[in-house]
Chain A
Amino acid sequence: ETGVTQTPRHLVMGMTNKKSLKCEQHLGHNAMYWYKQSAKKPLELMFVYSLEERVENNSVPSRFSPECPNSSHLFLHLHTLQPEDSALYLCASSQGLAGDAPGELFFGEGSRLTVL
């Protein structure tokens, strides 16, 4: 149990569907992240939120839309996805402040997305 919870764990959707991934952290952290993990590829940073403001958007297609309503919750809204978007989507949080381990991210177990 890392303190970061992602739902759903598995999602199958068609290319015309609209769905959302949810992430909740119980650690009191100030920064939250979305990463994409595809087979045989490095984890790709998608979005970074710090204190509920988006501070990083790594050239992600607009069919992925993040939302951070407060420091504990992060969503990834999905619409008109492509089969190549099938992957494991990982949410993470961190303290977001200079400290002993600024690179220590706490990851959730991920949402496995399959786009048909």
Chain B
Amino acid sequence: GESVGLHLPTLSVQEGDNSIINCAYSNSASDYFIWYKQESGKGPQFIIDIRSNMDKRQGQRVTVLLNKTVKHLSLQIAATQPGDSAVYFCAENAYTGTASKLTFGTGTRLQVTL
């Protein structure tokens, strides 16, 4: 069946270093992927998305890479800051044309050390 999973539950990174958060998916028909960030006590917040016809997309300090061959997705955060500490979720979207149906992974906790 469909599944979206994360390789590591916790990632510790020193401030200023780059962070890489990985995600594997199993549904080869998925054509749209999203990364969300959830800080303590808040709801998830959209970071960046990528369609399956792309293999890379860049935002502000973040880059998402998509490898369809091995069904792998990653989120790279440049110059990680304390404010980046949060749980990060990847999700795949089954868009119905009127609404989104997101399937989320378990999440990876990013801890930024000083």
Contact = CB atoms under 8 A, between A and B. Distances in A.
A12 B26 CA distance: 38
A109 B41 CA distance: 7
A97 B91 CA distance: 19
Interface in A1-55: 2, 4, 30-31, 33, 40-43, 45, 48-51, 55
B60 interface: no
Interface residues of B, number: 27
A2 B43 contact: yes
A43 B92 CA distance: 12
A110 B43 contact: yes
A31 B101 CA distance: 11
B44 A103 contact: no
Chain A interface residue bracket vs B: 20 to 34
A105 interface: yes
A98 interface: yes
A61 interface: no
A90 B93 CA distance: 18
Contacts of B107: 42
B49 A101 contact: yes
Candidate in A50, A103, A109 with the most chain B CB atoms within 10 angstroms = A103
Contacts of B89: 42-43
Contacts of B41: 109
Contact of B44 (A48, A55, A90, A96): A90
Interface in B56-114: 89, 91, 93, 95-107
B18 to A, nearest CB: 25
17 contacts: A31-B98, A31-B100, A33-B99, A42-B104, A48-B99, A48-B101, A51-B98, A55-B96, A55-B99, A94-B99, A103-B32, A103-B46, A103-B49, A103-B95, A105-B46, A105-B102, A107-B43
Interface of B: 4, 32-34, 41-46, 49, 89, 91, 93, 95-107
Interface of A: 2, 4, 30-31, 33, 40-43, 45, 48-51, 55-56, 90, 92, 94, 96-98, 101-110
